[in-house]
């Protein structure tokens, strides 16, 4: 008797240790796609019992053809590249990896914050170009004693709060979904506007939704004190990039650190790329060896949990589908 295997469509390669989890199951087969154009996905998605995806955009048309899918497992914590509403209509759980990349992203956030504060790009360029005397007129700032505002304080924001506190920073948090009873070293502020007025630096840690789109725009940036720093290792689209450029060029901001952008890849002609006081990285905050292993394995574990009827509700974005299954 031939065993019918559950097919996993892996959109974008994942770590070999994660694939080993699939290899260990006799009831599972998988296919890895390196071409994730819509045309290619439409050819393969119809027979998939599960879909994993990193940051490739998954269109509504692709999901509509995923008639056998029992899960869409995100290799990460953001989910704006998946039409979650349509998945919900089709009773397909969408999962994320939870805290496994939180350390890597929080450390990268601190890297961006420190590099912006200490004008790392300018100083690095000066040394490489033989301008050692640039140190005399390139002023950096300390973080000790400064106030950091976290917009959102979930798994990653919490770790940033602890790291910032270790540097001697005071940490404010604007997060309507966070309980007042938290025992973290933070001060909750109910008004974003009031919080911005007190912030020497601000770091974003929220998903990209209709509610958070452009949460830092011209008005919000104007509320920051002179010489503030803006950091985003969450999602492009949270910051109005044109407003950020204006704030940088006007001297309002001391610097910024960005790992995500409104358009990715960032176009070479983007004005962001011309600003020496904006530290840039290519959406790589979670791409450490440690996090890639953890994210890959949790992505696969979520798939296997769906096959086995043991999904962790905490990792399901659209929890409504779990109610439907009861």
pLDDT in tens, 83-109: 999 999 999 999 999 999 999 999 999
For residue 216, what is the DSSP state?
B
Annotated catalytic residue, options 264, 314, 320, 324: 264
**264 catalytically annotated:** yes
pLDDT at 182: 72
**75 catalytically annotated:** no
Annotated catalytic residue, options 54, 235, 254, 277: 235
**289 catalytically annotated:** no
Task: Over range 172-183, report the average pLDDT.
Answer: 86
Distance CA 225, CA 151 (A): 16
Per-residue buried b or exposed e for 154-172, using 16+ beta carbons within 10 Å of the residue's own CB: bbbbbbbbebbeebebbbb
pLDDT class for 4, splitting at 50, 70, 90?
Answer: confident
CB atoms under 10 Å from CB of 87, counted, come to 24
pTM for the model stands at: 0.92
On the question of pLDDT at 36 being above 60, the answer is yes
Q: What is the set of domains in the chain, with CATH numbers?
A: 6-100+289-325 (3.40.50.720), 102-280 (3.40.50.720)
On the question of pLDDT at 325 being above 70, the answer is no
Under a CB-based contact definition with an 8 Å cutoff, are residues 152 and 176 in contact? no
Annotated catalytic residue, options 108, 277, 283, 301: 283
pLDDT at 289: 97
| CA-only gyration radius of the chain, Å | 22
Distance CA 260, CA 294 (A): 21
């Amino acid at each position: 008797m031939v065993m019918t295997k559950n097919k996993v469509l892996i959109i974008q390669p994942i770590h070999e240790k994660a694939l080993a989890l699939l290899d260990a199951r006799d009831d599972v087969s998988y296919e890895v796609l390196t071409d994730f154009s819509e045309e290619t996905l439409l050819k393969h998605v119809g027979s998939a019992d599960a879909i994993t995806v990193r940051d490739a955009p998954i269109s509504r048309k692709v999901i509509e053809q995923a008639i056998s899918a029992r899960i869409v497992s995100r290799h990460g914590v953001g989910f704006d590249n998946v039409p979650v509403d349509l998945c919900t209509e089709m009773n397909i759980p969408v999962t994320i990896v939870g805290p496994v990349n939180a350390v890597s992203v929080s450390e990268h956030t601190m890297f961006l914050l420190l590099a912006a504060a200490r004008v790392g790009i300018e100083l690095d360029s000066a040394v490489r170009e033989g301008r050692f005397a640039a140190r005399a007129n390139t002023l950096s700032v300390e973080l000790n004693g400064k106030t950091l505002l976290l917009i959102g304080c979930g798994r990653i924001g919490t770790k940033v709060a602890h790291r910032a506190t270790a540097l001697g920073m005071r940490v404010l948090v604007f997060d309507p979904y966070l309980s007042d009873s938290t025992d973290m070293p933070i001060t909750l502020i109910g008004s974003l506007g009031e919080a911005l007025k007190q912030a020497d630096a601000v770091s974003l840690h929220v998903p990209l939704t209709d509610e958070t789109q452009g949460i830092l725009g011209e008005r919000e940036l104007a509320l920051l004190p002179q010489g503030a720093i803006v950091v985003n290792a969450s999602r492009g689209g949270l910051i109005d990039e044109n407003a950020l450029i204006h704030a940088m060029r006007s001297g309002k901001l001391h610097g910024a650190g960005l790992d995500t952008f409104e358009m990715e890849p960032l176009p070479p002609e983007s004005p962001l790329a011309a600003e020496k006081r904006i530290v840039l990285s290519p959406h790589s905050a979670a791409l450490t060896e440690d996090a890639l292993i953890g994210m890959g394995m949790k992505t696969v574990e979520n798939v296997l949990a769906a096959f086995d009827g043991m999904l962790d509700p905490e990792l399901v974005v659209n929890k409504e589908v779990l109610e439907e299954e009861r």
